[in-house]
Amino acid sequence: MRHAGTDNLVFFIEFKLYYAITEIQIMSEKPDSKRRDFLQLSTLSIGAVGTAAFIWPFLKSMSPAEDTLALGTTEVDVSSIEEGQSVTVKWRGKPVFIRKRTKDEIDEAKTVNIEDLKDPEEDINRVKKDEWLVLVGVCTHLGCVPLGQKLTDSKGEYNGWYCPCHGSHYDTSGRIRKGPAPENLAVPPYSFLNDTTIKIG
């Protein structure tokens, strides 16, 4: 994986090298070609090769390492999570909340009047399976980690999550209901590999 700027730089060097070699071939075929021109083009081509050899290690270092790429996805076994329980896992350095919702929590999330929400979003658009809710556990106000994962935590006024930093309350779909947070808790990209394994990222 390379950045667009890296690809452009590599293309530029390859183009210059190709151009220089082509010019050398054309000049060498002309009987009246000047030795000076030939030497200039030779120097240019050698310089291009040297530049490419010098820059290549730097370009390679810009590509993510294999262990970094591995952190781009996280597989979670959810077979041991009971109804009403939550777990927290790490994904790209951020906490991700996984909750197996109860029927009451699902019903509560589905019956909310969308017009009453600060960041309107239907529950059905935030889950892939009704009972499983997967959220990035970072408050959208100033980046604190909301409470609500543990049974003893305060879950706020809407039975979801509560951010103690500035008092944002989230519901059982992770939607902001009260407080300064401007947006709902984010839903990361995820998929179900099977009935008991979630792949995040």
For every one of its 201 residues, what pLDDT tens digit does the chain have, with 9 covering 90 and above?
444 555 555 566 666 666 666 665 665 555 555 666 666 666 766 766 667 677 767 666 666 565 555 568 899 999 999 999 999 999 999 999 999 999 999 999 999 999 999 999 999 999 999 999 999 999 999 999 999 999 899 999 999 999 999 999 999 999 999 999 999 999 999 999 999 999 999
Q: Choose one of 37, 63, 89: the last residue of a domain.
A: 63
Are residues 78 and 56 part of one domain?
no
Query: What's the structural domain count of the chain?
Result: 2
Active site residue 166: yes
Statement to judge: residues 57 and 140 lie in one domain = no
61-86 burial: b if 16+ Cβ within 10 Å, else e: eeeeeeeeeeeeebebebeebeeebb
Of the residues 3, 141, 166, 169, only one is catalytic, namely 166
CATH of the domain at 161: 2.102.10.10
Q: What is the pLDDT of residue 46?
A: 74
Answer yes or no: do 75 and 40 share one domain.
Answer: no
- Kindly state whether residues 75 and 48 are assigned to the same domain: no
Q: Give the pTM.
A: 0.65
